[in-house]
Amino acid sequence: MQYNYFFEIPAITLSIMTSIAGISVGLGYAFKSKKLKDFGAEELTQVIISSIILGLIIAFFYSGGIFQQIMNSPGVPSASVSSCPAQTASNPAMCLSYNYLVGSGYTYDGTYHQSIFDSLATLIASLLALSGILGIIASIKISLVIVSFSFSQVFNPIISEIKYVVGMLSGAEISVLVQGSLMLFSSAATTSMLLPVGFILRTTYPTRRIGSFIIALAVSLYVVLPMSYLLDIVVANGYQASYNAHGQGLGGIINESESLKNSLNSASASNSMVQYGIAGEIESQASSIQSMFSSYINSLLVQLSYFIAYSFILPLFSLVITGVSIREISSILGSEEHFDVLSLM
């Protein structure tokens, strides 16, 4: 059995505040001080409210509680993962979000999807390989009878385009990594640190609002944020069947470029002037690569736009939802409530 300090810390804190409130009320009666009596009654009210909040959170969060029942309900789209990092193992939504972003991928509606990070990394690797080969080709000079030429004018625009795309994809990759780290932090810190600290702060009078905010932050990070990523998964799979097409269209271009590079290398290595026939063949190969890339560039840019949506737009949407929930929950937790019975004291 794994014991969690989340039970012990709030319970001790509430008992401390009950003692303080009792002392305050008692002294208020003893010395006929209305201020002390009111303060004590108010603190007792807040202890009752905090106890209710604690009970609701336990009922919501503990294994088999409402949160897990929601996750397992038929209304929630089912997705499965092969493995979870240790920190996220207890929260299915967090585990799924992590695998969607940077983990080992997930299965949705019977289709396996790589994580966004893996897809980005594969595409970037393919583009860099192509860029390297084209760079080598562009730097090779071919000598004909009286003139020499190179393919730099043909391939430099392609290399520039690849550099631009790789730059954007790298930014998307960093964004995805940051989000994955946020998931791990949420898993590790919310129930073990933020919630107990928030409860302690909420129980004491001067720090009540800060405590409410921290509790709201913990609840939002642990529940709302991963559930919003679940929504992102549904949206992403709704308009694109699979984003596994990472670099598959590049395979043919890379092969053709390798072939051209080898031809040029062997022609250069022979240290003889190239005959017109061979030059024509090389030129047609270069033209073929250029036209293949021109055909591919559209799908590459579409892929880029999808990755930017997955890495920036949808997470921004998730963060906005999380921010709004933090604000609303903290205003509910920090609101002043009065029980008429206690105010008669």
Q: State both tokens at 274.
A: 């190239």
Stretch 61-90: interaction string toward other proteins, x if CB under 8 A? xxxxx-xx---------------------x
With respect to other proteins, which residue has the nearer C-beta, 79 or 200? 200
Q: State both tokens at 19.
A: 């003692």
Least CB distance to other proteins at residue 106 (A)? 19
Candidates 176, 200, 201, 314: give the one binding other proteins (CB under 8 A).
Answer: 200
Task: Identify residues 170-189 at the interface with other proteins (CB under 8 A).
Answer: 188-189
By CB under 8 A, residue 221 contacts other proteins: no
Q: Which amino acid is at 56?
A: L
Least CB distance to other proteins at residue 345 (A)? 9
By CB under 8 A, residue 205 contacts other proteins: no
With respect to other proteins, which residue has the nearer C-beta, 86 or 147? 86
**Counting Cβ atoms within 10 Å, is residue 82 exposed (0-12), middle (13-18) or buried (19+)?**
exposed
CA of residue 39 relative to chain centroid, distance: 45
By CB under 8 A, residue 12 contacts other proteins: yes
CB contact at 8 A, 169 and 304:
yes
Candidates 7, 112, 149, 164: give the one binding other proteins (CB under 8 A).
Answer: 7
With respect to other proteins, which residue has the nearer C-beta, 29 or 164? 29
Which residues have CB under 8 Å from 21's CB, separation 6+? 40, 41, 43, 44, 47
With respect to other proteins, which residue has the nearer C-beta, 197 or 292? 197
Interhelix angle 34-61/8-30, rounded to 10 degrees, is 160
The neighbour count for residue 209, using CB atoms within 10 Å, is 14
283/296 Cα distance (integer angstroms):
20
By CB under 8 A, residue 297 contacts other proteins: no
33-38 contacts, C-beta under 8 A, 24 or more apart: 37/345
With respect to other proteins, which residue has the nearer C-beta, 41 or 264? 41
Site residues, other proteins (CB under 8 A)? 1-9, 11-16, 18-23, 25-32, 58, 61-65, 67-68, 90-91, 188-189, 191-193, 196-197, 200, 222
